[in-house]
Amino acid sequence: MATSNERPIILKKVKKVVHASHGGAWKIAYADFVTAMMAFFLLMWLISMTTPEQKQGLADYFAPANVSRSTSGSGGMMGGTAFDAQGSRMPGSTPRVVMTISTPAAPKSPETNDQRTAAASNGYRESTNAAKATMTAATTNATAIGAISQDEQNFRSAAESLRQAMQNSPELAELSKNVIIDETPEGLRIQIVDQDGRSMFPSGRAEPYERTRHLIEAVARVLMKLPNRVSISGHTDSTPLRGQAGYTNWELTADRANAARRIIGALGLPDDRIYQVVGKADSEPLFPEDPRMAANRRLSIVLLREAPPVPPGFKP
């Protein structure tokens, strides 16, 4: 018999639940979701950046070609139309009448074998002359195109050489804002312009500053490498010249252009390469909307385009 001091024995049974392993499948799904979202936002950004014309072009590119929905009956290639001498038309429609007016042929006149031979000979001579004229014109055009192409190559080479010379010289590099190089119908134009606070010539004087002289000499070294002729012109703003009586902007710009010619000639450019030296005062401002602007005071040196040579015996 159990005594009152004995405690009951309690047995506990613990059941262990084994959970299945999740693995890495969720990572792949999440990565696909992130990739899809990135593609979506990229698509939205591209749509917002494109113009309506670009969108229409994309739509036309991906649009399928229009084809017939069937191959027989009214859905065929003719679409239910009939084809006759007047062209395709719908059944039951009235044919369209097209009138043409032709000039009747002249009656043939009897001619001898000699006459036919002479006519054929004249036609041969005319066709031969026409062919020669066409070949001459083609040769002239080809020569002109070749001359233009050569000029373009010379101009690009001259512009690059001048820019390189200015970059290599610290003194000339400071004047880069005072030089404008562009192409015009006349040729390659190199302009030495004044800037606010930095003039290329003393006020009212024809002889340039020393820095301007060095810049003109750099231009001259480039010009001497090419066979093209040179045009030099001086320009000023609309401010009237005060000082010496009878000495105006016309004389001043002409003297400045001539001073540049002397500097270029001293470096070895032959006189026969100089096409013209002119003073234009304020007649051709660089900025017409502001005729008193400092940049209107400038020296323009143009490497002229050469006319294509005319073939010997050519008669226009």
Q: Which residue do the tokens 């004995």 mark?
A: 6
pLDDT surpasses 70 at 10:
yes
Question: Quick check: 198 pLDDT over 80?
Answer: yes
> Looking at 100-104, 129-133, 253-257, which range is the least confident one?
100-104
pLDDT above 90: residue 60: no
The candidate with the shortest Cα–Cα distance to 295, out of 169, 137, 140, 180, is: 180
Taken as a whole, the chain contains a residue count of 316
Q: Looking at the DSSP assignment, which residues form a beta bridge with residue 87?
A: 84
Please tell me the least confidently modeled range out of 148-152, 204-208, 259-263: 148-152
Beta bridge partners of 198: 195
Mean pLDDT score of the chain, rounded to an integer?
Answer: 74
Q: Which segment, 13-17, 71-75, 90-94, 212-216, is predicted with the most confidence on average?
A: 212-216
21-25, 32-36, 50-54, 242-246: least confident range: 21-25
pTM of the predicted model, to two decimals?
A: 0.52
Residue 281 is predicted with a pLDDT of 93
Residue 152's pLDDT band (cuts 50, 70, 90): confident
**Alpha carbons within 13 A on the beta-carbon side of 188:** 25
Tokens of 131: 């062919």
For 152-304, which CATH superfamily applies?
A: OmpA-like domain (3.30.1330.60)
pLDDT band at 62, cuts 50/70/90? Answer: low
Lookup: tokens for 270: 């032959």
Residue 168 pLDDT exceeds 70: yes
Annotate 246-256 with b (16+ C-beta within 10 A) or e (fewer): eeebbbbbbbb
Domain ranges of the chain: 152-304
| Order of strands across the sheet that contains 298-304 | 179-183, 187-193, 298-304, 230-235, 274-279
Q: Which distant-in-sequence residues (6+ apart) come within 8 Å of 243 by Cβ?
A: 204
Is the pLDDT confidence value at 85 over 70? no
State mean pLDDT over 264-280: 94
Q: How confident is the model at residue 84 (pLDDT cuts 50, 70, 90)?
A: very low
